[in-house]
Structure 1
Amino acid sequence: MNATPNLTTYVIAGGCFWCLDAAYRQLRGVTDVVSCYTGGHTSSPSYEQVCTGATGHAEAVAVTFDETEIPSSVILDAFFTMHDPTQLNRQGNDVGTQYRSAMFPADDAQRATFEAAIERASEWWPSEIVTTIEPLGEMFPAEEYHQDFFAKNPTQGYCLAVAVPKVNKVRAAFTKYLR
């Protein structure tokens, strides 16, 4: 999934995609974030369908970044900072397989990079990490109103209660890479 030699895209899921999207947009070198659905068995699912858990999809983000500005290890360490990878099929009050912690590698090299990131993260999480590595398969962009949701809805209750603390964790841990 490399459009140019220095651009890389990782597809990852860790709870509501609004939070992942908001946190990644804080980092220098991130060129694009697309909220999407992947890992399921239904073609072109809607948000409402994914929310039921019946499609098998996870709420995910496709994060594209420039490796000359931000290392892939920082992208993945931020992922393990902004969500709790020890919670199975949930993040806080968001419960269901659509909120699972998962990584979707595009190739064997990404798989190895993801495995190394899980190993690194296991050193600072006190409980077992349950993040799965699943085949990438087909990705479906989420509806337009989900794209850059936090920026469009900064005073929305969920954003204030859930996204802001995650954004703040990433900002505190990765100050060197902030925009």
Structure 2
Amino acid sequence: MKKIVPLFIIALLFSCNNSAQSINPKQKAVIEADPIEVPVKDGKARAYFASGCFWCVEAIYESVKGVEESISGYSGGFTENPTYEASNTGRTGHAEAVEIIYDPNVVSFATLVDVYFGSQNPTQFYGQGPDRGSQYRSIIFYQNDEQKKIIEDKKAALAKQLDTKIAAEVYPFQKFWVGEDYHQNYERRNPNQGYIRAVSIPRLRRFQAKFPHLLKKGEKH
């Protein structure tokens, strides 16, 4: 217990930001919009997920075979050019999200959704771990009807398996705003930062232990 308590305190002190986000009526238009499909480029497709602090999520997806890159940013809101500071006020509508650039011949969208649900607490609403507020809410973005069905089927199956409501919202993809440079590859570049040690790395390790068959060669698990 002497080791666990300090880590918990560090997690609270160094969490992304724990401000709450208010609900804006403009969010309804975002949820009801037609999805925008991002074309495959140079054989690579793109998928978009929000699952708490993007420092954690970025590293999880980059450990998966077939994923070329994970980019941290913002999506799901109604304001233009969101920033980290603006997002954390709770007034942009955006959630911290990641853009996953992947080879669909190696890893499918359905598997990326499995990674999504398998790397978080799927029953925690408006946050993950110590990060609370709707800027940390769970959202899966779909680009077409096929993706929407995959998401909804997996979400329903998980709800039945756990016998509880699943927190993830399902949004039509509209736009992804790339985050500030200092957020990119944050866990890799800052392995000794307090939040990374207390929250991000343990979350990554839990995922890797559950899905060793999905990991790139040489990834620790």
TM-score (normalised: structure 1) = 0.92
**Paired position in structure 1 for 2:122:** 85
1:86 deviates by 1.1
* CA RMSD after TM alignment: 1.6
Confirm or deny: 8 A CA contact 2:47 2:109 kept in the other structure: no
**Paired position in structure 1 for 2:82:** 45
Identify unmatched segments of 5+ residues in structure 1. none
Q: Which residues in structure 2 correspond to 1:9-48 (within 5 Å)?
A: 9-48=46-85
Matched residue count: 179
SS at structure 2 position matched to 1:134: strand
Specify which of 93, 96, 101 is matched with residue 59 of structure 1: 96
**Paired position in structure 2 for 1:75:** 112
1:135 lines up with 2:157 in the alignment: no
1:48 deviates by 0.4
Q: Deviations over 1:17-73 (max 9, x none)?
A: 111101111111101211110111110011000011111100001112212222333
Identify unmatched segments of 5+ residues in structure 2. 1-37, 217-221
Question: Which residue identity is paired with 1:24?
Answer: Y
Specify which of 206, 209, 217 is matched with residue 169 of structure 1: 206
Instruction: Go from structure 1 to structure 2 and tell me whether the alpha carbon gap of 1:83 and 1:69 turns closer, same or farther (over 3 Å shift).
Output: same
> Whole-Å Cα distance in 1 between the matches of residues 48 and 120 of structure 2?
15
SS at structure 2 position matched to 1:13: strand
Confirm or deny: 8 A CA contact 1:101 1:132 kept in the other structure: yes
TM-score (normalised: structure 2) = 0.76
Confirm or deny: 8 A CA contact 2:109 2:147 kept in the other structure: no
Question: Which residue identity is paired with 2:185?
Answer: D
**Paired position in structure 1 for 2:195:** 158
Instruction: Go from structure 1 to structure 2 and tell me whether the alpha carbon gap of 1:125 and 1:61 turns closer, same or farther (over 3 Å shift).
Output: farther
Specify which of 40, 56, 76 is matched with residue 3 of structure 1: 40
> Whole-Å Cα distance in 2 between the matches of residues 110 and 73 of structure 1?
8
Instruction: Go from structure 1 to structure 2 and tell me whether the alpha carbon gap of 1:45 and 1:5 turns closer, same or farther (over 3 Å shift).
Output: closer
> Whole-Å Cα distance in 2 between the matches of residues 111 and 141 of structure 1?
23
**Paired position in structure 2 for 1:111:** 148
